[in-house]
Amino acid sequence: MRPLLVLGAGPAGAAVALGLRRLGYPVVLVSQWRRFAALEGVSLRVLEALRGAGLGQALDSALQACRREVAWNGEQHAQNIEYLLDRPRFDRGLREALRAAGVELVEGRVLDVQSTAAGHRVRIEGQGERFADFLVEARGRQAPALSKELGKSLRKGWRGPETLSLLNRWQGPPGSAASAVHSLEDGWAWMARQADGQCYWQLTVDVASAGLPGKAQLLDYCRQRRLGSAPARAFFGGAAEVDLQLHARSSTAILCPQVCGANWIRVGDAAMAVDPLSGNGIFQSLSSALQAPAVINTLLQRPERAALAQRFHGQRVEQLFLRFARIGRDFYGDEQRWPEQPFWQARRQWPDHQPTHRAADFAALRIERAPVLRDGLVDEAEVVIAPDQPLGVWHVQGVELAPLLRRLQRQAPGEALAGLSEEQDRAVRGWLLGQGYRP
């Protein structure tokens, strides 16, 4: 068969490519390597997800740990540890991991993608054309649609308030690594300093109400905002800003309304992109990418399950998007000083008024058939739907929950749980108690 084609070499694209190689598929990955020396603040949860995706080696030389200071709603604290991820170094590590796994890497800008039911033709700057039976779109939130119909639905997709992040980078004197985030009347700012003196300041604002100047004046605008900010002056000091650069990017939360077809799939930010305030952009990107190899494997090997596989991917991307969107909404709601300012007013009400987490209710548990992952393929099984787990839970510690729930409805707990190992018993009881079960 022709190699599967992955567009984009970020964490999502790399994770899918590695997952497909583990399943035995030939893979070609096309990407234009990053030109801007970006830095990202990530949590321990993100690092664990990266290691779980087989990308741990790429982290070795790209991380610096520091304490993050937070100034929000007039309160300050420095309780969390943030890991500063040097993206150029990390990206080089990703490429090394991909080559070691047998993924063919093609460096170049994708000029055009022509997709039909028969396959895909991709034109690459300086590299000619590539053809593939299956395409993975992982080029981020700006990834174009594969068809006019999808393009129309993309424009109608679920979008948060239009948001812009202005990132400045410059060289300062060496010192200790640090990061901070603080709220402003019209947005919020993130600051970071690496031990080698590389400095980063990112201002995130509302597009409609920010009153930003033209592109040519943006760098001076950022400099004035930064020099006029007491937290920024205290964080960076008064050292000269050598080689000051600007990188403007959209940070609007976006959910693509269609993320999987018969011979293509969207992952990472190309499927959904969340507000950077959550600090979990890489985590959510990986979450959609880790399930993709099994979805692709099903589409290729079990075409009769195509609808089930597409449903599996689409439902999980949507639920993940809404969960992160609601987390961001609640964090914006914690800032009470400027409730009527356009930036805060729009974001404390979006995406909806549903709670981020629903209260446990054992009486509300129900059994439904739903798509699950089994042996590297999407299959269907009975799952238990819970208020806070709307897609259902198939098993805990290898114990299927649907038969167990039926036993609990007609047997005493000891009898219903008989035959479980000590570890299984502990895990299942913990899950049941977490769902409000009171024997």
> How is residue 11 written in tokens?
């964490």
Give me the pLDDT at residue 149, please.
55
- CATH 3.30.9.100 in the chain: give the residue spans: 163-250
Taking every pair of Cα atoms in the chain, the longest distance, rounded to a whole number of angstroms, is 74
- In tens, the pLDDT along 233-273 reads 999 998 889 999 999 999 999 999 899 999 999 999 999 99
Burial of 77: CB neighbours in 10 Å, binned 0-12, 13-18, 19+: exposed
DSSP 142: T
Instruction: State yes or no: cis peptide before 351, omega within 30 of 0.
Output: yes
> How is residue 434 written in tokens?
């977490």
Give me the pLDDT at residue 152, please.
56
The candidate with the shortest Cα–Cα distance to 84, out of 185, 198, 7, 219, is 198
The answer to whether residue 345 scores a pLDDT higher than 60 is yes
CA atoms within 13 A on the CB side of 93: 20
- In tens, the pLDDT along 378-436 reads 999 999 999 999 999 999 999 999 999 999 999 998 899 999 999 999 999 999 999 99
Q: Mean pLDDT check: name the lowest of 63-77, 170-184, 279-293, 380-394.
A: 279-293
Give me the pLDDT at residue 151, please.
53
The answer to whether residue 310 scores a pLDDT higher than 80 is yes
| Contact yes or no for 69/180 (Cβ under 8 A) | yes
Bridge partners (DSSP) listed for residue 432: none
Burial of 72: CB neighbours in 10 Å, binned 0-12, 13-18, 19+: middle
Bridge partners (DSSP) listed for residue 72: 75
Please report which confidence band the pLDDT of residue 172 belongs to, taking 50, 70 and 90 as the band edges. Answer: very high
- CATH 3.50.50.60 in the chain: give the residue spans: 4-65+81-160+253-347
Distance from C-alpha of 336 to C-alpha of 321, rounded to nearest angstrom: 25
H/E stretch holding 71 reads strand 63-72
Could you tell me if residue 112 is left (phi over 0), alpha (psi between -120 and 50 degrees) or otherwise beta? beta
Mean pLDDT value across the chain: 92
Give me the pLDDT at residue 280, please.
67
Ranked by mean pLDDT, the top range of 82-86, 234-238, 308-312 is 308-312
| Contact yes or no for 222/246 (Cβ under 8 A) | yes
Give me the pLDDT at residue 34, please.
76
163-250 maps to which CATH number? 3.30.9.100
Q: Mean pLDDT check: name the lowest of 120-129, 199-208, 277-286.
A: 277-286
The answer to whether the pTM exceeds 0.85 is yes
Average pLDDT of span 357-370: 95
- In tens, the pLDDT along 21-50 reads 999 999 999 998 877 788 888 888 888 888
Q: Residue type for 390, please?
A: P
| Contact yes or no for 164/282 (Cβ under 8 A) | no
The answer to whether residue 155 scores a pLDDT higher than 70 is no
Per-residue exposure over 323-346, b if at least 16 CB sit within 10 Å of its own CB, e if not: bbbbbbbebbeebeeeeebebbbb
Place of tokens 């007013």: 345
Q: Please tell me the CATH superfamily of domain 4-65+81-160+253-347, with its number.
A: FAD/NAD(P)-binding domain (3.50.50.60)
Place of tokens 């987390």: 327
Please report which confidence band the pLDDT of residue 147 belongs to, taking 50, 70 and 90 as the band edges. Answer: low
Give me the pLDDT at residue 293, please.
97
Give me the pLDDT at residue 341, please.
97
| Contact yes or no for 368/359 (Cβ under 8 A) | no
- Residue 255's alpha-carbon distances to 103, 117, 136, 145, in angstroms, are 29, 24, 17, 13
Residues constituting the chain: 439
Bridge partners (DSSP) listed for residue 114: 121
| Contact yes or no for 179/203 (Cβ under 8 A) | no
